[in-house]
């Protein structure tokens, strides 16, 4: 764990004046000065991949989080800048050929969308199984998979300050952006929650809800302070902004009003949890990032952290040890370690399940109990969140010991089950039940759920 070298592009700057949010997408790749450190060929490769996978990066990330002495290996560089190996060779070659031979946008987009379709853009049956229906109408922007927790995707929150190369959530939907629409959406959400008294948690997610101006966020949050919604005890907000734009809490025009809004929701009796997405300790090292954490915590919110385990970025117990220790020191609560999902550039980022377990275990062994609140490594699959508890040998058979941390059917939770050990498996679909059993205990019930949902929707 070598100390960081000074950044050759620009020293960290920190003052409380509003700073322009400057963002680059695939069309502005040539405008990023730092990329002149790469060869022409490398820049072209980047453009090829950026036509298929999400690419968006802002000035703060470029200037403060990437160690430009260490590219292309720098973890944050890999986190936001597309790399050739993120596409299958054939897909890469075909896209490269098209870009070399034409400027025709429609041809390029058509190729891009064909490649994307192959990358499982909607994993874990999210669209089909999780969206609730009322009077035969889907409730847009709502997913309800686990009894206690409703997910809400506000239409203006479906973008992020920068994109992570491993993300495919941007494929979900692009919404309307006006305030009237938000009010309507907020009303529908409130009606849905009011009818579901078993729900205790609302998880506002995206994209990144914190890209919203405070005015917009207030429409959603304030509508939750309603006597009908006393059963909603926790409001979680999923965000990467503490890494990608800490200015949101420090120096944006509406930073102060955002913090006041959060305080108001807490005073109204709700628990507000910021579910902060961190992939690497580097993201917490800038003075701005620390100031953002300090100011957020002063409102009374609890910041919990989560991240997938990613090859090329954090596939190393030392990275997690340092990250979790740093989080605890800053008053953050480590919550989830995820297994990289079966979508997008998974081939580039995935690690075998056995490796994920080893990284988790090696890291957990060396942090204090206060960092052992983190659960994982966990796969977010159709039936639920499945944790790899370990590798064991039972009656001569080497097995993975698994359990649901969360499941579509609460009965499945905390019941250990076993899969035949497979050193190459990276996802549930690769696992076979141990001891010669035909299927996992939940499989039949899950398939019935899928069939019923399908039947309900096609009538
Ligand atoms: C992880 C997750 C939640 C939250 O589950 P908790 O166990 O309450 O953290 C809710 N909905 C979906 C779809 C999830 O993947």
Is 408's C-beta closer than 6 angstroms to any atom of ligand 1? no
Tell me the β-bridge partners of 185: none
Instruction: State the Cα–Cα distance between residues 325 and 333, nearest whole angstrom.
Output: 10
Q: What is the DSSP letter of 61?
A: I
Residue nearest to atom 12 of ligand 1 (CA): 145
* pLDDT for residue 174: 45
**Stretch 118-133: mean pLDDT:** 79
pLDDT tens sequence across 393-451:
999 999 999 999 999 999 999 999 999 999 999 999 999 999 999 999 999 999 999 88
* pLDDT for residue 126: 67
Give the HSE-up count for residue 336: Cα atoms under 13 Å, Cβ half-sphere.
18
Q: Pick one of 3.20.20.220, 3.20.20.70, 3.40.50.720, 3.40.50.300 as the CATH number of 133-329.
A: 3.20.20.70
- The atom number, within ligand 1, closest to the CA of 203 reads 10
What are the domain boundaries of the chain?
A: 23-117, 133-329
- Nearest alpha carbon to residue 276 among 332, 315, 331: 332
Are the beta carbons of 363 and 317 closer than 8 angstroms? yes
For residue 39, the Cα-to-chain-centroid distance in whole angstroms is 31
Is 151's C-beta closer than 6 angstroms to any atom of ligand 1? yes
pLDDT category at 136 given cuts 50, 70, 90 is confident
Please work out, in degrees rounded to the nearest 5, the angle formed at the alpha carbon of residue 434 by the alpha carbons of 429 and 440.
55
Are the beta carbons of 240 and 161 closer than 8 angstroms? yes
Distances (CA, A) of 22 to 58, 60, 368: 6, 8, 39
pTM above 0.85, yes or no: yes
Are the beta carbons of 342 and 123 closer than 8 angstroms? yes
- The atom number, within ligand 1, closest to the CA of 335 reads 9
Q: Is the pLDDT higher at 343 or at 201?
A: 201
């Amino acid at each position: 764990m070598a100390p960081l070298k000074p950044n050759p592009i620009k020293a960290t700057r920190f003052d409380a004046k509003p700073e322009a949010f400057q963002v680059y997408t695939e069309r502005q790749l040539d405008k990023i000065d730092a990329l002149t450190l790469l060869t022409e060929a490398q820049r072209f490769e980047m453009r090829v991949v950026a036509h298929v996978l999400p690419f968006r990066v802002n000035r703060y990330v470029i200037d403060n989080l990437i160690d430009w002495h260490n590219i292309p290996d720098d973890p944050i560089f890999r986190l936001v800048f597309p790399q050739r190996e993120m596409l299958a060779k054939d897909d890469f070659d075909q896209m490269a050929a098209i870009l070399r031979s034409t400027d025709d946008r429609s041809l390029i987009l058509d190729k891009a969308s064909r490649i994307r379709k192959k990358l499982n853009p909607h994993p874990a049956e999210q669209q089909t199984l999780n969206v609730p229906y009322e009077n035969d109408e889907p409730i847009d922007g709502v997913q309800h998979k686990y009894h206690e927790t409703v997910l809400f995707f506000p239409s203006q929150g479906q973008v992020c300050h920068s994109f992570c190369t491993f993300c495919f959530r941007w494929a979900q939907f692009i919404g309307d952006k006006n305030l009237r629409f938000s009010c309507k959406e907020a009303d529908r959400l409130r009606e849905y929650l009011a009818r579901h008294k078993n729900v205790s948690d609302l998880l506002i997610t995206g994209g990144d809800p914190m890209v919203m101006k405070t005015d917009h966020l207030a429409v959603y949050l304030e509508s939750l302070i309603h006597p009908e919604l006393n059963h909603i005890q926790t409001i979680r907000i999923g965000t990467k902004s503490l890494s990608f734009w800490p200015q949101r809490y420090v120096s944006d025009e509406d930073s102060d009003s955002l913090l006041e809004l959060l305080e108001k929701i807490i005073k109204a009796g709700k628990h507000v949890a910021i579910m902060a997405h961190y992939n690497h300790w580097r993201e917490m090292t800038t003075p701005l990032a620390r100031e953002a954490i300090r100011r957020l915590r002063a409102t009374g919110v609890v910041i919990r952290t989560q991240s997938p385990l990613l090859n090329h970025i954090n596939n190393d117990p030392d990275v997690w040890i340092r990250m979790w220790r740093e989080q605890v020191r800053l008053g953050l609560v480590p919550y989830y370690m995820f297994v990289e999902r079966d979508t997008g550039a998974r081939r580039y980022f995935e690690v075998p399940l056995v490796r994920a377990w080893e990284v988790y275990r090696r890291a957990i062994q060396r942090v204090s109990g206060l960092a052992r609140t983190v659960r994982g490594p966990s796969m977010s699959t159709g039936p639920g969140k499945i944790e790899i508890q370990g590798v064991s040998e039972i009656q001569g058979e080497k097995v993975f010991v698994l359990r649901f941390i969360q499941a579509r059917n609460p009965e499945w939770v905390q019941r250990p089950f076993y899969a035949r050990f497979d050193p190459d498996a990276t996802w549930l679909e690769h696992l076979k039940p141990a001891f010669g059993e035909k299927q996992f205990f939940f499989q039949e019930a899950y398939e019935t759920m899928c069939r019923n949902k399908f039947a309900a929707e096609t009538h």
